[in-house]
């Protein structure tokens, strides 16, 4: 009996060490919590909040929350958002699924050890192939927006229009996102995107990097 317990403990430790077990636990946990414990959100464009706290495992060598953890926490918040507003259920009914096609991040201030925060996620709009979402990391100490992330969530096996039509039981015109002047990852910083909720048409950050500059003399 003792040997079996030791073997199970060793297996559990191996899973957490080699397969990132905490992620494998939290991801379905976020879906189940959104589906069973939180109310359904009827407004597709409504902002939803996902609470978090900076843990020791999230830190980099400078004792800040490392850049990859922002994307990871945004994953949990995004899947909870899509579950509560019914998108994941509609995809399952249409026998389709979704993948993250592109993302863009802007970091404004570090999150530190044990600092509480919220990931505030909202759907900006959609086009023929993808949903566009935004996630803001807001410190609960002072309400400062520490990071702004935007995503293109591509659909496979269906279209956003069909998903929305199934949810609303009627045809809905798509609020196609417009591109802003915010520079791509390799360009110079452009105008700062608005951090307050948008009241007009949805906007997204450009997700493709600009073309590389030509060298002197016309060489590529």
Q: Kindly indicate the confidence band of residue 187, based on its pLDDT and cuts at 50, 70 and 90.
A: very low
* Mean pLDDT in residue range 178-189: 38
Q: Kindly indicate the confidence band of residue 17, based on its pLDDT and cuts at 50, 70 and 90.
A: confident
Could you tell me if residue 197 is inside a domain?
Answer: no
Q: In terms of DSSP H, where are the helices of the chain?
A: 2-18, 21-32, 67-84, 87-93, 160-168
CB atoms within 10 A of CB 19: 10
CB atoms within 10 A of CB 134: 24
Q: Kindly indicate the confidence band of residue 177, based on its pLDDT and cuts at 50, 70 and 90.
A: low
Could you tell me if residue 124 is inside a domain?
Answer: yes
- pLDDT > 80? residue 66: yes
What mean pLDDT is reported for the chain? Answer: 81
Could you tell me if residue 204 is inside a domain?
Answer: no
Could you tell me if residue 46 is inside a domain?
Answer: yes
Rg of the chain, C-alpha, whole Å = 20
Judge contact between 132 and 123, C-beta under 8 A: yes
- pLDDT > 80? residue 170: no
Whole-model pTM? 0.75
Could you tell me if residue 27 is inside a domain?
Answer: yes
- pLDDT > 60? residue 161: yes
Give the CATH number of the domain where residue 115 resides.
Answer: 3.10.129.10
Could you tell me if residue 121 is inside a domain?
Answer: yes
* Mean pLDDT in residue range 41-64: 93
Could you tell me if residue 190 is inside a domain?
Answer: no
Of 107 and 181, the structure prediction assigns the larger pLDDT to: 107
Q: Of all residues in the chain, what percent carry a pLDDT higher than 90?
A: 59
Range of the domain at 81: 15-178
Of 115 and 8, the structure prediction assigns the larger pLDDT to: 115
Between CA 76 and CA 26 the distance in angstroms is 8
Q: Which helix (H) or strand (E) holds 184?
A: none
Q: Report the number of distinct structural domains present in the chain.
A: 1
Could you tell me if residue 187 is inside a domain?
Answer: no
Q: Of all residues in the chain, what percent carry a pLDDT higher than 70?
A: 77
């Amino acid at each position: 009996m003792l040997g079996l317990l030791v073997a199970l403990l060793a297996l559990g430790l191996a899973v957490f060490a080699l397969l990132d077990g905490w992620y494998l636990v939290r991801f379905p946990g976020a879906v189940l919590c959104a589906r069973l414990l939180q109310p359904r959100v009827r407004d597709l464009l409504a902002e939803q909040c996902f609470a978090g706290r900076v843990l020791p495992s999230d830190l980099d060598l400078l004792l800040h929350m490392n850049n990859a953890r922002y994307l990871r926490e945004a994953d949990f918040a995004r899947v909870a958002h899509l579950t509560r507003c019914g998108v994941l259920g509609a995809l399952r009914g249409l026998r389709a699924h979704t993948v993250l096609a592109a993302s863009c991040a802007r970091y404004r201030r570090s999150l530190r050890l044990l600092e509480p925060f919220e990931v505030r996620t909202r759907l900006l709009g959609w086009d023929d192939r993808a949903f566009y979402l935004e996630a803001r990391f807001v410190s609960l100490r002072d309400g400062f927006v520490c990071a702004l992330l935007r995503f293109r969530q591509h659909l496979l096996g269906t279209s956003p229009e069909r998903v929305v039509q199934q949810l609303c039981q009627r045809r809905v015109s798509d609020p196609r996102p417009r591109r802003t002047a915010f520079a791509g990852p390799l360009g110079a910083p452009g105008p700062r995107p608005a951090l307050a909720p948008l009241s007009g048409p949805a906007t997204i950050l450009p997700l493709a990097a600009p073309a590389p500059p030509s060298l002197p003399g016309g060489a590529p």
